[in-house]
Chain A
Amino acid sequence: MEIEKKVKNLVAKLHPLERKVLPVLAKEINFSQIVEKSGLQGVEVMRALQWLENKEVLKIISEKKKRVSLDANGKKYSEEGLPERRFLEALSEDFLNLSAVAKKSHLDKEELNACLGLLKRKLAIDIQKEEELMVKLGPQGKILLDKKTPEEDFLNKKFPLDFDSVTDLDKLALDNLLQRKGFVKVEEVKDVSVELTPFGKELVKADLGEDVMGKLTAGLLKTGKWKDKKFREYDVEINVPQINGGKKHFVNEAVDYIKNIWLEMGFQEMKGNYVQSAFWDLDALFVPQDHPAREMQDTFYLSGKAKLPPLWNKVKEVHKTGGETGSKGWGNFSREETEQLLLRTHTTVLSARTISELKEEDLPAKFFAVGKVFRNEALDWKHLFEFYQVEGIVIDPNANLKHLKGYLREFYNKMGFEKVRMRPAHFPYTEPSVEVDVYHPVKKEWVELGGAGIFRPEVVKPLLGFDCPVLAWGQGMGRIISEYWKITDIRDLYKNDLKQLREMKVWLK
């Protein structure tokens, strides 16, 4: 009962090729025989057999075997007769000269010579040397003419021949033939056969029924013919070939995710150029003009000079003397330095520009940026020369450090971190400056994730026209992206290996 059910289930799912092969298997187990009887191509039979093997219907047995087959001369002489026979048949009991024999037997010179030696040894011919060689049948010759040689019998067998099936008697003939050039060869070949399992034995006896339908086609639907037939059941568990769809770049997915967090928190997006002046990128942010980060080996500079906005004079004053900010300033300021062109080193340049465009009645206001920044670094597994930075500012006359801590918690909560810690830090344009740690839920430890602070009065006053707390925080994106996709070599972010891009999971946060 159990087996019957199994057989029935299987029959319903048989592929057309399996259907053709199965009935043959009742009688044939040798691969080449199955191919012949099924009328299919070798590859088709092999596919069907493999599927059936997977279904535990049979076992494919592959053995190495020695096989005897005819070589070129062997084929030729098995049709035309051996040269020595033709030679003998051309003779009579009277001497004949060799050229007459050649003419009668249609043998060439080489064959004639071979026959002379061979037949003489067997005492089948007598030779007399005159002007030309004269030959006649010898004592054994007549006997040989009446009876076939073991070699001739052997050549008449059906080839290819299983070497193991050659009898001892035939072995002698085979050995003789092997000594003759191009008659027979013995090769090692792979012999494929099948062995039915007990279940397979039941299956081949089963009625496979009528033809079942493969694909449902428009034609079948139009004609309604599908009503008369049964559908073949598919093996739905089997693996199918892979296809490739379109996909967003994974870094952009992460960017969209971060942007959404800012948008949900009521921030407006800032965008701007990658090429900036040192004025906007550094001086407006009160970065001293001799700051190490400004050096050639840290920043990408371009040739040429930037045009400065009118407020550059105010910024110059703040650097030199503190201007109206109550600061001492840095004591110096060079126009040449501030006019330099560079690839922006941080998105904070966008914050500076944004603040410079605000008026008192626009406040409070919140802005964010997610954008590329550049550092003059050689590419290696942990350094890129361009990378994403994320940054937000809150310009609010009533803001204070407690608010900053609150915003940070809200921001990082949205990113999945429950606890946030602030530690003292230093950035040239913020005071107080804050290092932001989050408690990593998986690693179970504090992890440094971002920087934050309140912009210095030396930054805000010249840009905005009056001093006002500007809360700011930001971070790189490399860490969260690498962690999500388990990337250990940061260069993989922009390697654009298409296989990797196609197979990557999407951002699911």
Chain B
Amino acid sequence: MPTITLNKKVFEKLVGKKLPLEELKDRISMLGTDLEKIEDNEIVVEVFPNRPDLLSEQGFARAFASFIGEKTGLRDYAVKRSGDKVIVDSSVDNIRPFTACAIVKKLKFDEETIREVIQIQEKLHVTFGRNRKKLAIGIYPMEKIKFPITYSAEDPNKIKFKPLEANREMTGLQVLGHHKAGREYGYLLENLDKFPVFRDATGEVLSMPPIINSDLMGKVTEETKEVFIECSGFDFEALNKCLNMIVTALAEMGGEIYSLDLEYPQKNFVTPNLFPDKMKFNLSYANQRLGLDLTEKEAKELLEKMGYGYDQGTVLVPSYRADILHQIDLVEDIAIAYGYENFEEIIPEVATIGAEDKLEKFFRKVRDILVGLKLLEVKNYHLLNEIELNAQMLLDEEIVGLKSSTGDYNHLRNYVLPSLMKNLNENQHNEFPQNIFEIGRTFVSDKGEETGVKEKEHLSVVLCHDQVDFTEIKQILDVLMKSLGLECSVKESKHNSFIPGRVGDIMVGGKKIGVVGELSPEVLTNWDLMVPVVSLELNLEDLFEKVFP
């Protein structure tokens, strides 16, 4: 989860109230943010990903001031019209189709505030912007910009500028190959024949989103008083929200917001649009979900504590809130304002009957029988690798692999036995006999299944000690079957993992449900084992059906 670092003094000034430390801690957690630490003048807060509007000092303080009742209700941010234009060329349609832009003036930057602006930008990139994939933000000093600005997509070889943190001019392609930001985010422009670019009226490049700004045009300094801000990406609505989060944060720093006219090929827009969204609100729905009995006035007050406005059944949702999809989201905010700690605990009288899964219950019986035979239960991951599942077992079976995987664990096991072999391999230093078992899931391809994979619960037992032989494992099988009230026979068969003539199919009621045998010395050698092993593996679901036909 993303965190933001707040300067306690700045924060208190923004909130307009200084709370005792304990209360501050408590209120921060009850607002729905996780307090990571408070140290000296630094407050570190974890913000849930649904609230990107809290990812700035200003945004967080705004929500907090409302929550503690210091400054409640909808905030009003004035937007003046600049009359300047941003022209969106149709060439960006299939490249990075949207932008939303604004100007903020009367800013006073110092080292601290510049760092703060960079923090907002970076946090929004990572979270709401899905690492610049969904959207990217550019902020530019106004001094050198001549309007109108154009947003278009161009041949990357024709885009030439000196990017930030570089010492020479580069083409678009060179940026991807040679610039740090290009290497990191270049994949976002991969396979495109044209790259998006912002240019001002003189043709000077402002930036090549979502990669990097121009060093000449896109570097905010302490001298900067006015900035041009653009968000570019694929979801116009999200771009607007993002832009609103930034401009309102800058307004809280003392800036004045100016709109821009966006000329899209088909339609024109004016951004930023800070008008609140309107959402119908049903009080009885909220009361029902929360188990409360709020009056309209109480609900209004609670909504105002969360920064909303309320007017006769309609909630005014701040333009920077990106997480309000349904009135249930308002219900949650009412609950937060009411205080989760203030809800009573009620256990309703609802009679239901508990029931364990039948198969799980059966597994417990099987487990009890085997434990009674002095076997030790182990529990393994369901993932192994191809060598362990096939080559080391002298098998060549179709196994289910993972597309994305971690090192040695990249296939779903088709038998439990290889897991147990791995256990034996890792326990050679421990005392013998090593008689172990596992009840666990196995996976095989099956086109008939919804997912193309059939999952079956298996039991595998291995016995490993110097004197072990086939008789001993068959004795285990016999006790198990007798305990389950089943007649079982072993029919000689062939299996590559076992010594010929010492392996058989486990048959119950004419059906093969498993294999029992003595592992071949070659398999043992493959697993670096110097002690003989006998094993059985059977399908517990088949067995269950035989026990409970």
Contact = CB atoms under 8 A, between A and B. Distances in A.
Contact of B376 (A246, A304, A328, A329): A246
Contact of A268 (B235, B355, B451): B355
A298 to B, nearest CB: 9
A245 B402 contact: no
A402 B343 contact: yes
Interface in B351-388: 351-357, 359-360, 364, 367, 370-383
A376 B382 contact: no
B430 interface: yes
Contact of B401 (A264, A302, A327): A302
B62 interface: no
Contacts of A232: none
A386 B348 contact: no
Contacts, number: 255
A425 B360 CA distance: 33
Contacts of A266: 351-354
A457 to B, nearest CB: 6
B341 A421 contact: yes
B51 A426 contact: yes
B390 interface: no
Nearest to B436: A498
A181 B237 CA distance: 106
A89 interface: no
B451 A457 contact: no
B526 interface: no
A322 B377 CA distance: 49
A456 B328 contact: yes
A497 to B, nearest CB: 7
Contacts of A400: 288-291
B350 A364 contact: yes
B403 A431 contact: no
Nearest to A267: B354
Contact of A290 (B134, B288, B331): B134
A249 interface: yes
Contact of B451 (A265, A273, A296, A376): A273
Interface in B404-460: 404-407, 409, 412, 423, 426-427, 430-431, 434, 436, 441, 443, 450-453, 455
B18 to A, nearest CB: 23
Interface string B162-193: 00000000000000000000000000000000
B134 A328 contact: no
A275 B354 contact: no
Given A269-B356, A275-B443, A376-B404, A496 B32 contact: no
B59 to A, nearest CB: 16
A331 B326 CA distance: 13
A376 B410 CA distance: 10
B112 interface: no
B328 A431 contact: yes
Contacts of B451: 273, 275-277, 302, 304, 306-307, 341
Contact of A379 (B332, B406, B427): B406
B381 A247 contact: no
Contact of B29 (A256, A290, A297, A423): A423
Contact of B373 (A246, A305, A385, A425): A246
Contact of B346 (A247, A402, A420): A402
A140 B202 CA distance: 135
Contact of B31 (A265, A424, A501): A424
A263 interface: yes
B372 A271 contact: no
A494 B420 CA distance: 12
Interface in B194-246: 235, 237
Contacts of B436: 496, 498
Contacts of A245: 371, 374
B275 interface: no
Given A262-B354, A403-B348, A432-B335, A252 B404 contact: no
B406 A385 contact: yes
Contact of A498 (B352, B372, B430): B430
B431 A252 contact: no
Interface stretch (A8-16, A77-85, A91-99, A405-413): A405-413
Contacts of B289: 400-401, 432, 454, 469
B325 A322 contact: yes
Interface string A296-314: 1101111111110000000
A167 interface: no
Interface string B285-305: 000111100000000000000
A330 B332 CA distance: 19
Contacts of A378: 406-407
Contacts of B409: 379, 385
Chain A interface, DSSP helix/strand/loop, else mixed: mixed
Contacts of B370: 246
A405 B342 CA distance: 11
Contacts of A277: 450-451
Contacts of A497: 426-427, 430
B383 A385 contact: yes
A431 B29 contact: no
A75 interface: no
B142 interface: no
B328 A248 contact: no
B336 A424 contact: yes
Contacts of A248: 367, 371, 377
Contacts of A408: 345
Interface string A237-255: 0000000111111011000
B49 interface: yes
Nearest to A276: B451
Interface string B322-339: 000111110110011000
Interface in A132-182: none
A303 B290 contact: no
Interface in A264-299: 264-271, 273-277, 290, 292, 296-297, 299
A271 B32 contact: no
A502 B376 contact: yes
Nearest to B441: A274
A398 B346 CA distance: 12
A394 B359 CA distance: 23
A431 B382 CA distance: 33
A259 B381 CA distance: 21
A320 interface: no
A195 interface: no
A341 B183 CA distance: 30
A18 interface: no
Contacts of A322: 325-326
A379 to B, nearest CB: 7
Contacts of B351: 266
Interface of A: 244-249, 251-252, 256, 259, 262-271, 273-277, 290, 292, 296-297, 299-307, 322, 325-332, 341, 343, 364-366, 372, 376-379, 385-386, 394, 396, 398-403, 405-410, 420-426, 428, 431-435, 454, 456-458, 469, 493-494, 496-499, 501-502
29 contacts: A244-B376, A244-B431, A246-B374, A246-B376, A247-B371, A248-B367, A266-B353, A268-B355, A271-B357, A271-B360, A273-B451, A275-B453, A300-B405, A325-B326, A326-B326, A365-B352, A396-B348, A400-B291, A402-B346, A406-B346, A410-B347, A421-B340, A424-B340, A425-B48, A426-B49, A433-B332, A497-B426, A497-B430, A499-B430
Given A244-B431, A498-B376, 13 more contacts: A244-B376, A245-B374, A246-B370, A249-B378, A306-B452, A379-B406, A385-B409, A400-B288, A401-B289, A422-B341, A424-B32, A425-B48, A431-B329
Interface of B: 29-32, 34, 48-51, 130, 133-134, 235, 237, 288-291, 325-329, 331-332, 335-336, 340-341, 343-348, 350-357, 359-360, 364, 367, 370-383, 400-407, 409, 412, 423, 426-427, 430-431, 434, 436, 441, 443, 450-453, 455
3 nearest A-B residue pairs (beta carbon):
A424-B32, A400-B291, A426-B48
